[in-house]
Amino acid sequence: MTLSRTWIKSSYTGNDNNCVELSLTEFEAAIRDSKQPNGPVLAFTPSAFSRFLRFLRTIR
């Protein structure tokens, strides 16, 4: 089964298209490289994604 996702591009995207894209649903948060739309996807449950974001904020 293939998932149909709607991807949102980061607002920090420059003209070189060097960014990540995010797809959010009730059950999943997924991230991919905008330069490789058919490449790998990093998927999280909503609670794991929240923990991932909190972690990223601690290493900034």
Q: What is the pLDDT of residues 6-54, one digit of tens each?
A: 999 877 766 776 788 999 999 999 999 988 989 999 999 999 999 999 9
Kindly state whether residue 2 falls inside one of the protein's structural domains: no
What is residue 28's predicted lDDT score, i.e. its pLDDT? 95
Kindly state whether residue 49 falls inside one of the protein's structural domains: yes
Q: How many domains, in total, are found in the chain?
A: 1
Domain encompassing residue 23: 8-58
Kindly state whether residue 43 falls inside one of the protein's structural domains: yes
What is residue 2's predicted lDDT score, i.e. its pLDDT? 61
What is residue 4's predicted lDDT score, i.e. its pLDDT? 82
Kindly state whether residue 1 falls inside one of the protein's structural domains: no
Kindly state whether residue 33 falls inside one of the protein's structural domains: yes
Determine the Cα–Cα distance for residues 30 and 24; give it in Å rounded to an integer: 7
Is the pTM of the predicted complex or chain greater than 0.85?
no
Determine the Cα–Cα distance for residues 7 and 39; give it in Å rounded to an integer: 14
Determine the Cα–Cα distance for residues 39 and 16; give it in Å rounded to an integer: 18
